[in-house]
Chain A
Amino acid sequence: MSDVHEEFLAEAQEIIESLSRDLLLLDQAQKEHGPELDQTTSELINEVFRGVHTLKGIAGMFGYARLGEVSHALEDLLDQLRLGRVELDPSVLDVLFEGVESFQRLLVDSPDAPEVDVERLLQGIARFTGSGSAAPDDDLLGYELDPNVLSVLTEYEEHRLRTNVRQGVSLYRLKVRFSLLTIDSQLEDLKDRAKPLAEIITYLPSTGGGDGDTIDLDVLLASSAPYDTLEEALVDADAELLRVSRRSSGESPDRRTEHEALAPSSSSTPLPAPPPAPTPRPPSAAPVERREMSPDQLTLRSVANTVRVDIRKLDHLMNVVGELALVKSAVGRISERLRGRPELRQLAIELHRINRGFERRLEELQDGILDVRMVPLGQIFDKLARIVRQVAREHDKDVKLLVTGADTEVDKLIVEELSDPLMHLIRNAIDHGIESPKVRELADKPVSGTLALNAYQKGKHVVIEVEDDGAGMNPQRIVETALRRELITEEAAAEVSREEALNLIFMPGFSTRSAITDLSGRGVGMDVVKTNISRLGGVIDVQSELGTGTKFTITLPVTLAIINALLIRIGGRGFAIPITSVQEAILFEPEKLRTVEGREVMTLRGATLPLCRLDRLFRLEAAEPPELDADGTPPRRYVVVCAVAHRRLGFVVDGLDGQQDIVIKSLGKSLQRVRGFAGATDLGDQQVALVLDVPALLEELLGTPELTALEASR
């Protein structure tokens, strides 16, 4: 794929993401205020309009015809919306959401991408754009407005003017004089100052004032702010603010008299005679960009201070930092050696000091790169919010989404990988968890269900919770399903505990609904969710209370790139264990060993700890028995106690070599099928240590958690 094309995809992606954010806000505004558009809402619509317009433009450039077609239709619909011809109601929002959703799919050019029924979508959009609403009554006549000005308003401007008048917002005219050279920036400045207080309906150049270097603008504003506030904000040396007064009721709303009413005398504030605006339009030669800035300019500006970077480039930088760390330790070793030579001692100290400085800068660099890789979870939460809305509507369920901790940051790679599992959990929660409004009412629960998405940092981990206040899971039914699917035996089922029962849902082949619904049944089950999470070095837990709700808790490392590890030795070889899975390391006392059903266990503080001799597992046993220590005893060995979720296992190792920050590198494709290793790390000095995949090893040695518990109970 060419760079330019990739650039296009990235930009389109960005636009689509911001579109869905804006649509969600719009959805919220619609729920709160109904179809009437206030200033914020209409700005939102404009924002969406601009986004769609830009997307249409770039889609055309890159030959995405269907994407262009859909965005063109949506643009029409949005135009009608902002003109007030189409009312903003949930059904329109549905179409908008669906349209934006389809952008995403149309962008993915792969053959296995779900088909987008463009025709159906276009028809859906056309339903709204086909007919406009009736012409509004002419309530503008009550204002002393220049009909010549009115006649050059665009349809949109006129609509905004009418809306403001209907809502009883006061109208003002601001006469300003700008220098031709700086008009662009002055106009921008004026817009910025006006934005919090007033809506600019239009601005027209007046032909009367202005010499060769300046130009007079007539700005029509709508504002609910008091005159003084407005004046203070907007009026400087070359400006004048006038209130457009309401015509007194006695006067005839006849067009001719209205024209006369523009005369200064009729106004409470002395109005300088407005220059007769030329009809139809002011000469286009006027160096004034009268309309809004073009959409392209706006989008260009908004991203100017950020850079998009390919994650692979960051990976490369991280590798370079890793190399530098090796250089650092090499220099360290040299300075150690120099120290041993008395005549070079001074030099050694100096070198050591320089190396320390190097080390600190290197750490900063490393932190910096890690920081760049961090992105807020909000990135996927936005996407998920869209899905919540969609799934809830499809299922006729009333669901409120509460999000906390959207600014919690995790490694970009983790965010990418999280999106599918979270999406699945959310679909499940709405589909199986939250009851329909009727059922909820009967159960004396609030009609609208709540889905909470919480994220927070906990030490070196990030915790994400997906919690619903739905029906909860029935352990009895889960066990029955597991039995039916022959995932457990009758005997085991009889003794299963509540918690064990809940955990059965993570078993491959388990699905609580016999019919696969179009929502949750996307061919993946909770077992896939669990696998995806553990691939990220995370764990997933479930708690559920019948009738009250279900909560999934995902615990993940903040970053995949660098972890702290315990270095161990087995059969003369070095390995690393991520410290996050290590509970403690204790001395191995062979005399305390017990065997339970062929498995070695020991007792640790009153609880049984299964053991695994890694040298046997990895076939690294020394050919000869280990040499005895000086006092005639075999050398000490250790037990490293590892835990993942609620399961514990002790690994018997030959030695502990301390802790170290390591960068985990994945093993090549050729070793992908080798189980038990999360990757390898370069320890410097050409030494590579394999990193144990503790969750996988525990799974392998103890079986799946559900079954272990069940086996043990047999």
Chain B
Amino acid sequence: MSDVVKRDTVIPAAASQAPVLEREALTAREFLAFVIAEETYALPLHAIREILKPPPITPVPRAPGDVLGVVAVRGTITTVIDLRRRLRVAESPPDKHTRILLVAAEDEVLGVLVDQVLSVHRLLDDEIELSGVVGGDLSDYVLGVGRPRRSRRDREGERDTESETEEILVLLDPEPLLD
């Protein structure tokens, strides 16, 4: 988890910018942000069991196309899938940032290959646009779009604001995504 901790800039206390009244009416949810093919996605933090540096993956002949193969995680054989194939984005070779997220789906823990793990975001309800609002034909595994407030980050000054552009997280719903 070291990656996450290091980059962790928006942990609970940061949610202090919303007006008091409003904040009390809102609930916050935590998401882990990561990159796949240069897009930033995020999964609910509670669904993430572990972040692994990818061990050699054993391909499984005859497995569905988005299954990369299996790895052994402390004695348990875990299926690793490549979201790029499911999200229909271009594939890229693994590098030193590549990680496997262990995500708890309905009946098993699945490994999800990602290009890079970013940080944990604590999003208030008004920072989340649900997929219904966004419209278009988004797949059912897209929960919505997260827009963390820039202003908060600036004032905390923990990060170089210059490199930050307006950040958009595509929030994913683990159940339909991994089904």
B-binding residues in A (CB < 8 A): 319-320, 322-323, 573, 617-620, 665-671, 674-677, 679-680, 682, 686-690
Query: Once the chains bind, are B61 and A618 in contact (CB under 8 Å)?
Result: yes
**B55 proximity list for chain A (CB < 8 A):** 686
Taking CB as reference atom, which chain B residue is nearest A574?
B58
Query: Once the chains bind, are A687 and B79 in contact (CB under 8 Å)?
Result: no
CA distance A219 to B62 in the complex (A): 78
Query: Once the chains bind, are A677 and B60 in contact (CB under 8 Å)?
Result: yes
Q: List 21 A-B contacts (CB under 8 A).
A: A573-B58, A667-B60, A668-B78, A669-B107, A669-B108, A670-B67, A670-B79, A670-B178, A671-B70, A674-B63, A676-B62, A677-B60, A679-B77, A680-B70, A680-B72, A686-B72, A688-B56, A688-B58, A688-B70, A690-B58, A690-B61
Query: Once the chains bind, are B108 and A680 in contact (CB under 8 Å)?
Result: no
B145 at the interface (CB under 8 A from A): no
**B77 proximity list for chain A (CB < 8 A):** 665-668, 679-680, 682, 688
Q: Which of B40-64 contact A (CB under 8 A)?
A: 55-56, 58-64
Partner of A668, one of B56, B58, B62, B108: B108
**A620 proximity list for chain B (CB < 8 A):** 61
**B58 proximity list for chain A (CB < 8 A):** 573, 680, 687-690
Taking CB as reference atom, which chain A residue is nearest B54?
A686
B75 at the interface (CB under 8 A from A): yes
**A669 proximity list for chain B (CB < 8 A):** 107-108
What distance in Å separates the Cβ of B70 from its nearest Cβ neighbour in chain A?
6
Taking CB as reference atom, which chain A residue is nearest B69?
A688
Partner of B62, one of A323, A666, A670, A674: A674
Given contacts A670-B79, A687-B56, are A323 and B74 in contact (CB under 8 A)? Answer: yes
Taking CB as reference atom, which chain B residue is nearest A689?
B58
Partner of A671, one of B56, B60, B75: B60
Query: Once the chains bind, are A682 and B75 in contact (CB under 8 Å)?
Result: yes
Taking CB as reference atom, which chain A residue is nearest B59?
A573
CA distance A352 to B61 in the complex (A): 38
Interface centre among A320, A668, A671, A680 (most CB of B within 10 A): A668
Taking CB as reference atom, which chain A residue is nearest B107?
A669
What distance in Å separates the Cβ of A211 from its nearest Cβ neighbour in chain B?
67
What distance in Å separates the Cβ of A616 from its nearest Cβ neighbour in chain B?
11
Given contacts A668-B77, A668-B110, A686-B56, 18 further A-B pairs with CB under 8 A are: A319-B75, A319-B76, A323-B75, A573-B59, A618-B61, A665-B75, A665-B77, A670-B79, A671-B67, A674-B60, A676-B62, A677-B60, A679-B77, A680-B77, A682-B75, A688-B58, A688-B71, A690-B70
Interface size on B, residues (CB 8 A): 25
Taking CB as reference atom, which chain B residue is nearest A675?
B62
**B64 proximity list for chain A (CB < 8 A):** 670
Interface centre among A617, A666, A667, A687 (most CB of B within 10 A): A667
Nearest 10 Cβ contacts at the A-B interface = A319-B75, A618-B61, A682-B72, A688-B58, A686-B55, A668-B108, A668-B79, A665-B77, A680-B77, A670-B79
A-binding residues in B (CB < 8 A): 55-56, 58-64, 67, 70-72, 74-79, 81, 107-110, 178
CA distance A418 to B72 in the complex (A): 29
Taking CB as reference atom, which chain A residue is nearest B75?
A319
**A665 proximity list for chain B (CB < 8 A):** 72, 75-77
Partner of B79, one of A619, A671, A679: A671
Taking CB as reference atom, which chain A residue is nearest B56?
A686
**B61 proximity list for chain A (CB < 8 A):** 617-620, 676, 690
CA distance A617 to B56 in the complex (A): 23
Query: Once the chains bind, are A618 and B62 in contact (CB under 8 Å)?
Result: yes
CA distance A320 to B76 in the complex (A): 11
What distance in Å separates the Cβ of A622 from its nearest Cβ neighbour in chain B?
14
What distance in Å separates the Cβ of B53 from its nearest Cβ neighbour in chain A?
11
Given contacts A319-B75, A322-B75, A688-B77, are A667 and B70 in contact (CB under 8 A)? Answer: yes
Interface centre among A320, A675, A682 (most CB of B within 10 A): A682
**B74 proximity list for chain A (CB < 8 A):** 319, 323
CA distance A689 to B56 in the complex (A): 11
CA distance A668 to B109 in the complex (A): 8
What distance in Å separates the Cβ of B59 from its nearest Cβ neighbour in chain A?
7
CA distance A671 to B58 in the complex (A): 13
What distance in Å separates the Cβ of B154 from its nearest Cβ neighbour in chain A?
42
CA distance A564 to B59 in the complex (A): 23
**B71 proximity list for chain A (CB < 8 A):** 686, 688
What distance in Å separates the Cβ of A318 from its nearest Cβ neighbour in chain B?
8
CA distance A656 to B110 in the complex (A): 32
CA distance A135 to B63 in the complex (A): 77
**B70 proximity list for chain A (CB < 8 A):** 667-668, 671, 680, 688, 690
CA distance A319 to B59 in the complex (A): 22
**A619 proximity list for chain B (CB < 8 A):** 61
What distance in Å separates the Cβ of B57 from its nearest Cβ neighbour in chain A?
8
Taking CB as reference atom, which chain B residue is nearest A673?
B64
**B79 proximity list for chain A (CB < 8 A):** 667-668, 670-671
**A679 proximity list for chain B (CB < 8 A):** 77
What distance in Å separates the Cβ of B98 from its nearest Cβ neighbour in chain A?
15
CA distance A320 to B74 in the complex (A): 8
Interface centre among B56, B75, B79, B110 (most CB of A within 10 A): B75
**A666 proximity list for chain B (CB < 8 A):** 77
**A687 proximity list for chain B (CB < 8 A):** 56, 58
What distance in Å separates the Cβ of B72 from its nearest Cβ neighbour in chain A?
4
**B110 proximity list for chain A (CB < 8 A):** 668, 670
Taking CB as reference atom, which chain A residue is nearest B61?
A618
CA distance A505 to B172 in the complex (A): 50
CA distance A686 to B62 in the complex (A): 22
Taking CB as reference atom, which chain B residue is nearest A615?
B61
Taking CB as reference atom, which chain A residue is nearest B179?
A670
